[in-house]
Amino acid sequence: GELFDAKEYYFICTHVIGSAYHSSNSPSVYPATGLPYHLSFHEITVRDLVHAQPLLANNLEIQQLEILIGGSLGGQQALDWAVSHSIAINHLIVVGTNAVHSPWGIAFNESQRLAITTDRTFYANHPDGGAKGLKVARAMALLSYRNYTTYANTQKEDDNEKLDHYKASSYQNYQGEKLVKCYNAYSYYFLTKAMDSHNLGRGRRSIESALASIDCPTLVLSVNTDLLFPPQEQQFIAQHVPNAHYQEIESTYGHDGFLIETKKLTKIISSFLREQKEYINELV
C-alpha cells in the first residue's frame, strides 16, 4: 500500500510448490495410493518453482511483468526467472538473496533438517509428524535471520539475579511453537532442500554469464547486518547484471530486515522506479 498504488498496479503473489499453503505439497494426496505424499514427495529445485510461474502467467494471459520483486528464496526465484527469459520483465528488484546458495546457507538448512529427522515421528508419515523437530529447526533458523545485536536489543534481561526462564529462551520456544501451529515439517524439509539447489550457473555456461543475460533495469538490495545472505552476495549480483543499481540498507534486524524495514525499502524502491520512469520519458 505504501509503495505500490492498487489503482495503478495489479498484484500477483503465489505460493511455491511444496509450501504448506500450496495445493501441490508433501501433505497433498498422491493419486496412485490415495494417501498423502509426506516423505515420498519429489525433491524440488528453485528452478522447478520458477517453471511453474510462467504457467500461471499464461493462464492469466499475462505477456509481460512490469515489476518482478522477491526477497530471500523469492529473490532466488526472481533471478532464475529473469535469466530464463520466459516472460518479458520491465523491472527486476531482488532483496537479500544470492546467485548461488552458499555453503553457509546450506549448512544452516542441513542443521535444521537434522533437527527434524531426529524427531522419530517424522518417519510416521502423519500430518503432525516431525512437529517437535520442526520447533527446534525454527529456533535454529531464527539465529540466522537475526544477529547478536537484535537479541541484545530485544531480549536483554533487567534482573541480575535471574537463573532461568530467560526472555531469549522464551522467545525461541514461542517462535518454534508458532510455526508448528501453521506449517508442517515435511514442507519445511523439502523447501530447505529446494533452496540448497539454487545455482544460476546450473545447465548454463557460468553464474556470471547467467547474470549478464538479464536485460532489464535491476535494483539489488542488501541489509548490512544480514548473516544468512551477506551483502557481498548482493554486490556480486549487481556487479554482473548490466544496468544494475545496488543499495545497502542499514538495520539491526539482520536478514529479517528485508521484511521489517518497510519505510527504508519504500524510499529506495520508489526512487529507483521514479528514475527509470524519468529516463524512459527522456527517451520518448
Marked catalytic residue, from 222, 226, 240, 251? 226
> E-assigned strands of the chain?
29-30, 35-36, 64-71, 88-95, 218-223, 244-249
The three three-digit cell numbers of residue 233, written as one number: 552476495
164: annotated active-site residue: no
Active-site pick, 38, 91, 101, 255: 255
Active site residue 72: yes
Count other C-beta atoms under 10 Å from residue 139's C-beta: 20
**Cα distances (Å, whole numbers) of residue 161 to 157, 164, 171, 247:** 10, 9, 20, 44
Largest Cα–Cα distance in the chain?
70
256 is catalytic: no
Grid coordinates representing 118 are 531426529
Place of cell 520458477: 50
C-alpha to C-alpha distance for 172 and 176, rounded to whole angstroms: 6
- Catalytic option among 19, 26, 72, 251: 72
Cβ neighbour number for residue 266 with a 10 Å cutoff: 14
Collapse the DSSP code of 19 into the 3-class scheme (helix H, G, I; strand E, B; otherwise coil) and give the result.
Answer: coil
Active-site residues, by number, are 72, 226, 255
